Amino acid sequence: MANENGKLRVAAIGDLHVQENDTAPYREMFSEISNVADVLVLCGDLTNFGKESEARILAEDIKSCSIPVIGVLGNHDYECGVPETVTEILHDAGMTVLDEQAIEIEGVGFAGVKGFMGGYGRGELAPFGEPIAKAFVDEALNEARKLENGLRSLRTERSVAVLHYSPTIDTLQGEPEAIYQYLGSQRLADAIDRFDHVKAVVHGHAHHGQYEGRTPGGTPVFNVAQFVLKPMFGKPYVVLEI
What residues does each domain of the chain span? 9-241
What is the model's pLDDT at position 76? 98
Q: What is the pLDDT of residue 2?
A: 58
Judged against a pLDDT cut of 90, whether residue 5 lies above it is answered with no
N-terminal to C-terminal alpha carbon distance within the chain: 12
Q: Provide the residue type at 45 as one letter.
A: D
Q: Please compute the mean of the pLDDT values over residues 2-21 and round it to a whole number.
A: 90
Cα–Cα nearest to 172, from 106, 90, 115 = 115
pLDDT at 4 over 80: no
Neighbouring residues of 64: CB distance < 8 A, sequence distance ≥ 6: 27, 30, 31, 34
One-letter amino acid at 118 equals G
**What is the DSSP secondary structure assignment for residue 39, as one 8-state letter?**
E
pLDDT (0 to 100) of residue 204: 98
What CA–CA distances, in Å, run from 60 to 41, 55, 67, 90?
16, 9, 15, 9
Q: Do the strands 212-214 and 220-223 form a parallel or antiparallel pair, or are they unpaired?
A: antiparallel
Return the DSSP state at 49: S
Residue % of the chain over a pLDDT of 90: 97
Element (H, E) at 140: helix 131-153
Give 26's DSSP letter.
S
Q: Tell me, what's the pLDDT at 101?
A: 87
For residue 126, the tally of other CB atoms under 10 A from its CB is: 10
Residues constituting the chain: 242
Dihedral pair phi/psi, residue 178, rounded to 5°: -65, -20
Residues 57-101 have pLDDT tens digits of: 999 999 999 999 999 999 999 999 999 999 999 999 999 999 988
Report phi then psi at 96, rounded to 5. -90, 115
Q: How confident is the model at residue 103 (pLDDT cuts 50, 70, 90)?
A: very high
User: Which CATH code fits 9-241?
Assistant: 3.60.21.10
Q: What is the pTM of this model?
A: 0.96
Q: What is the pLDDT of residues 174-215, one digit of tens each?
A: 999 999 999 999 999 999 999 999 999 999 999 999 999 999
* 235 and 212 Cβ atoms separated by less than 8 Å: no
* Percent of the residues in the chain that have a pLDDT greater than 70, as a whole number: 98
Q: What is the mean pLDDT of the chain?
A: 96
Question: What is the pLDDT at residue 226?
Answer: 98
